[in-house]
A and B are shown apart, each in its own frame.
Chain A
Amino acid sequence: MVSALFNFVQDHGGGEESHGEALGADFIMHHINDHVLWEWHPFGFDLSITKHVFMMWIASAILILLFSTIFRKPKMIPSGLANFFEFIIAYLQDEVMKPYLGKDSRKYAPYLLTAFFFVLLCNLLGLVPGSATATGDISVTTGLALLTFLMVQGAGIKKNGVVGYFKGLIPPGLPVFILPIMIPVEFVGLFTKHIALAIRLFANMVAGHVVIFALLMIIFTFKSWAVGGITLAGLLFVSLLEILIALIQAYIFSILSSVFISMAVHQDH
């Protein structure tokens, strides 16, 4: 990461006095933006393979390989990696699924666990030098939130029926004159929850990376080795914080998905 930064600064004439801060902003944007690896425009649609798509492929490949190898022959008493992942899954089942979904939790466990591990792995892969954070892209998080949206609507409609589900969105027993206000509010509320889900994950991942690069840029702003110590201490702290945030955001994504599903399934409270 640092060597890439150094090359970038050299290539773009970082030695000049006036460019210090503008260059920093350029570099930060360069790292947050997506880059096209392979141009592909089938039928007029832009389906180019970008760096973030590639990182998602890597995350998916790691997940598929990992879980298909360690749980190929499930044992009563797991050992090694299987034990470790069984501990995480048991924790998620007790904390994320059971309290909200109750006995339905096994039905929605595949989606919630996949979302958790995929988001977690994308977040953590973003911290590897030379890689990109797939979840730091609004398109990726919107896609994930769209999946949750479909899961929520599907679960609600399956449980309550099409008419019952949309009727149940409005709390029962409201006076008629409030309905013109409540119907649009509840309809918008159907989408805002999921938009917030997408923006939360995106902003958390981007904010962490921006802070890391802003700290790195202190060196280039002051053009001195003396501030290196501050930068190093700050970077170490923020990087550790980033690992924590990667875990928390994955947890929050799955727990909120679980809560939204339970809200759609159990509409009476």
Chain B
Amino acid sequence: MEHLGLAYLAAGIGAGIAVIGGAFGVSKCANAAMDGIARQPEAAGDIRGAMIITAAMIEGVALLGLVICFLLAVKA
């Protein structure tokens, strides 16, 4: 039973850490994009497209961690 509890704990903490990492990455990316748009509003379209792709890449990594945590929580 204790091992099961540890697995649940690991899943919860892991999900939290994955989300922190993802949030940090996306916030840095959005920060730079907003800066860029503010400096050069005529390039807003290009910057937005590039930002969405980058954010999706970062989000993908965070979600990879979340999937593992989900498996840990369900299969434990």
Interface residues of A (CB under 8 A from B): 25, 29, 95, 99, 196-197, 199-200, 202-204, 206-207, 210, 248, 251-252, 255-256, 259
Contacts and interface: CB of A to CB of B under 8 A. Distances in A.
Nearest to B74: A29
Q: Which one of B49, B52, B61, B63 has the greatest number of beta carbons of chain A within 10 Å?
A: B63
Given A200-B59, A252-B52, A256-B53, A25 B74 contact: yes
B46 interface: yes
Contact of B66 (A25, A29, A207): A207
Given A99-B49, A196-B57, A255-B53, 7 more contacts: A29-B74, A196-B64, A207-B66, A210-B70, A248-B52, A252-B56, A259-B53
A166 B64 CA distance: 28
A251 B48 CA distance: 13
Given A25-B74, A29-B74, A99-B46, A199 B53 contact: no
Q: Is the interface of A mostly helix, strand, loop or mixed?
A: helix
B60 interface: yes
Lowest 8 A-B CB distances belong to which pairs? A203-B63, A200-B60, A252-B56, A196-B60, A203-B67, A199-B64, A200-B63, A203-B66
24 contacts: A25-B74, A29-B74, A95-B45, A95-B49, A99-B49, A196-B61, A199-B63, A199-B67, A200-B56, A200-B60, A202-B67, A203-B63, A203-B64, A203-B66, A203-B67, A204-B59, A206-B67, A206-B70, A207-B63, A207-B66, A248-B52, A251-B52, A252-B53, A255-B52
Interface in B32-76: 45-46, 49, 52-53, 56-57, 59-61, 63-64, 66-67, 70, 74
Nearest to A253: B56
A27 to B, nearest CB: 12
A188 to B, nearest CB: 15
Nearest to B59: A200
A197 to B, nearest CB: 8
Interface of B: 45-46, 49, 52-53, 56-57, 59-61, 63-64, 66-67, 70, 74
A197 B61 CA distance: 10
Nearest to B64: A199
A199 B68 CA distance: 11
Contacts of B57: 196
Q: Which one of A25, A196, A248, A255 has the greatest number of beta carbons of chain B within 10 Å?
A: A196
Nearest to A252: B56
Contacts of A203: 63-64, 66-67
Contacts of A210: 70
Contacts of B64: 196, 199, 203
Nearest to B61: A196
Contacts of B52: 248, 251-252, 255
A204 B63 contact: yes
Contacts of B49: 95, 99, 255
